[in-house]
Amino acid sequence: MNTRNGWAWTFYLGVLLAAILAAWLGAGFWAAAHASGHPDRLAEIRQRGVLVVGVKKDVPLWGQFDPRSGRIVGLEPDLAANLAERMGVRLELVPLLTAERLPAIEERRVDLILATLSDTPERRQRLTLVLPHYYASGVNVLARKSAGFREWTDLRNRRICGRRGAFYNRAITVSSGLDVVALYDNRLSIASLREGRCEGLLYDDTNIVAMLQEPAWSRDFEMPLPTLFTTPWSIGLHRDDAGSALADLVSQAVVDWHRAGLIADLERRWGIPVSAYTARMQSLWRQRSDQGWYCGPRVTPATPSECL
């Protein structure tokens, strides 16, 4: 990573950590949120008998349309099914594109979003992002091997396709000087790369790794650059649901996923290499000390930051 990229990432990471710290400093006001008259969303969900979850519909292995079954399938729909089972209700999935995720939860069209949502300071201003995080990814480029890219500076002024609404579009433009063509749908971005209208695809590194497992991609394409802006993913709730029973249930579910190794199991099921992040979080939440669980039985303001 060159000096300019390093400074950009250092600044971004500082802002993100400050936002997370501010969120936990406000944890003492969660009880006040309950007392302020916000409806009990968890009770509403159980009364209606359906949990409505927004998931991606265009990210292979994570959330995609299966033409054989006519359903949305992937690792995140499987996690959503686990949440519905915990609540004792039926699951309804709402397929979303990247740019549709935040409006869907803000307009209460879904109860929560479980859709490759990176935790950023801007999103914390608009949503309740549940801790602990359940996954993490960074940004990288899928490019033809013949392009010979080896450094981010090689992409300066190159036409690189991406997704509208991805948080890293502007940061990458500023730090690396590439020309991001932000398209509305992942399928459009991927098609543009295949057809040679873009010289690369700006995408989450986890998704590129999954794509490169297919011979149709690995034959001519590669992920040649170091990953930038590695950022954890959160389950998103409505801003008014901070400190609610729904937030508590979702948080405890993520703790249980890490401790039970569910996410690693689902990665293997979907043919996704078990990520270093998954392995680290599983190890942390399983770690015991003389006083009990190192990370604690659940998330509290006293939970060690590395467990979040």
Q: How does residue 165 score in pLDDT terms, banded at 50, 70 and 90? A: confident
pLDDT digits (tens, 9 = 90+) for 179-235: 888 888 788 999 999 999 999 999 989 889 888 988 999 999 999 999 998 899 999
Confidence category of residue 38, pLDDT binned at 50, 70, 90: low
C-alpha torsion 13→206→288→295, nearest 10: 40
Q: Which two tokens stand for residue 82?
A: 């686990």
Provide, rounded to the nearest whole percent, the portion of the chain with pLDDT above 70: 87
Q: What tokens appear for 143 in the block?
A: 């490019």
In the β-sheet with 63-66, what is the strand arrangement from edge to edge? 58-59, 63-66, 71-73
Nearest CA to 110 out of 99, 121, 125, 95 is that of 95
pLDDT in the model for residue 224: 94
User: Per DSSP, what are the bridge partners of residue 238?
Assistant: 127
**pLDDT digit string, tens, across residues 87-118:** 999 999 999 998 899 999 999 999 999 999 99
Q: Is the dihedral of CA 145, 150, 152, 156 positive or negative?
A: negative
Instruction: Evaluate whether 253 touches 86 at the Cβ level (below 8 Å).
Output: yes
- 147, 104, 148, 97: which is closest to 126 by C-alpha? 104
Nearest Cα to Cα of residue 225 among 160, 126, 140, 116: 140
pLDDT over threshold 70, residue 12: no
Determine the distance from the C-alpha atom of residue 106 to the mean position of all C-alpha atoms in its chain, rounded to a whole number.
17
Is-contact 141 86, C-beta < 8 A? no
Give tens-digit pLDDT for 167-183.
Answer: 788 888 888 888 888 88
**Cβ contact 177:157 at 8 Å:** yes
| Rounded Cα–Cα distance for residues 183 and 39 (Å) | 37
For the segment 241-256, what is each residue's pLDDT rounded down to a tens digit? 999 999 999 999 999 9
Name the residue type at position 181: V
Count CB neighbours of 33 within 10 A. Answer: 17
